[in-house]
Structure formats: structure tokens, C-alpha cells
Amino acid sequence: MQKPQTDLLVVEDEPSIAELLKFSLENAGFSVVIVPSAAQAREAVAQSLPHLVLLDWMLPDMPGLSLLKEWRRNPRTAILPVIMLTAKGMEEDKVKGLNEGADDYVTKPFSPKELVARILALLRRKMPEIGQQIQIYGLIKIDLERLEVTVGDMPVMLDQAEFKLLRYLVAHPERVYSRAQLLDKVWGDHAFIEERTVDVHIMRLRKSLGPAHDYIKTVRGVGYQLSSLSRSVPA
């Protein structure tokens, strides 16, 4: 099983800054794609959603803020985590960026260590299954650094699909997800997998979890939920 990667899209047209970002972020363990324009960023996001975007305010083909507005109007990218990168340090500019939907704002020149810290902090808020190294729910413990799962004190062997599914459910306990939502959140919105395949993975995951198998509830007519309660949410 491969170590889960955090995919970052960096939209920056200045080669020296782009090179610094790529070096610093890859050293911090991120998978990084660099594009120099809004058009290429739009195309990259259309192909596959990153976990987070670093977006420069000033781009050669259009303002980064205008691209951010596009993403926020699109349901598919409405909650995509975005940190704005800019030389603009005035308070009104920061307020404008945040009001238009930026999750955070970093002024150039910036400290690479501070930027990495801000990225991790945003991921912890927006995507806890990415930002945490240890996830615990009831008897289940997931060590994302070692890619180990235990139930109680017993190790559990999972394939990659089961691991990703459990990881997501443990990060969002008590919430009910449809099969389509799980396909989108766990396998990605461009995965060509039938919704019924989720049922197969759920069945296998339950079997693997042993004494914690009943944590995964079937919600009739809706989908699935991770809950330690004795009953699932009514359909």
C-alpha cells in the first residue's frame, strides 16, 4: 500500500518563486504541480481536484482573484482550499481576497516554513483525514505515517481501497454518505467506478474490522455511516 499523498496545485508565473515553492513543498512531503497561468490552472483542476491550491494574485492572463471567484461559483470547486500568494500587503487587499473566498493569505516574500505550517493548518481544518497523522474512532486507530490500522490491540490488514475508505469515514464520523459521495470523496470525481462497487468495499472492510465491523452502518435508501451507536440514522 502506498503512502497517501497530499496533492498541491501551485499557480505562479515567476520561475524563481515557483522553483522555491516546488523545492520547499516537496521537501515537506507534498506532491506538487506548478502551472504559470489561470488557463492552465483551470485545465488542471478540471482534470483532477487537488487537495489545496496556492494561487498567485497577479497572473499573466487574468487576476488570480477572478479565477478564485470562478471556482467558488462552481459546486465542484466551491470548497476547494485556496491560499492566495501576493506581493499586496495592504489590509484592504487581504480583506478583499478573504471576502472573495480565499481561505488564507500569504504575502511575498514569505518564509517557506511558515507557508508549510499554514498549509497544514488549513488542511487540518478543511480535510482532517489529510492533516492528521493519527486517527482514532472507538476501537479503530489509523497511523497514517506507518500506514497501520489496529482494532483494539490487533493489527488489521487492508488493501489500498479499504484503507482510503476507512480513513475518510473515521475523519467524518456520524455523517451519512451516499455511494456517489463516497466515490467522489474517496476515489476522486474522475474515478470510473460503479456505485455498487462501494458496497463490495464496505462488505470487505466490515469483514476486516472484526469486532468493530458494526461501526459501519447501512442507512436504508441513503448510503453508509460510521457510528458506534447501536442504531443507524433512520432512512
Q: For the chain, what percentages of helix, strand and coil (3-state, to nearest 5) are there?
A: 45, 20, 35
pTM of the complete model beyond 0.85 = no
Q: From CA 187, how far away is CA 190, in angstroms rounded?
A: 8
Q: From CA 12, how far away is CA 60, in angstroms rounded?
A: 10
Highest mean pLDDT among 55-64, 93-102, 103-112: 55-64
pLDDT tens per residue, range 150-171: 999 899 999 888 998 998 898 8
How much is the pLDDT for 19?
92
Architecture of domain 134-226: Orthogonal Bundle (1.10)
On the question of pLDDT at 41 being above 70, the answer is yes
Instruction: Decide if 138 contacts 212 (C-beta within 8 A).
Output: yes
On the question of pLDDT at 225 being above 90, the answer is yes
On the question of pLDDT at 71 being above 70, the answer is yes
How much is the pLDDT for 70?
93
How much is the pLDDT for 67?
94
Residue 133 C-alpha cell reads as 497523522
Architecture of domain 7-130: 3-Layer(aba) Sandwich (3.40)
Full DSSP string of 4-44: PP-EEEEE---HHHHHHHHHHHHHTT-EEEEESSHHHHHHH
Query: Domain locations in the chain?
Result: 7-130, 134-226
pLDDT tens per residue, range 162-220: 998 998 898 888 889 999 888 877 876 545 667 788 999 999 999 999 999 999 999 98
Full DSSP string of 39-98: HHHHHHHHH---SEEEEES--SSS-HHHHHHHHHHSTTTTT--EEEEES---HHHHHHHH
Q: What mean pLDDT is reported for the chain?
A: 84
Which DSSP symbol is given to 210? Answer: G
Evaluate the CA torsion angle 19, 51, 193, 150 in order and state its sign: positive
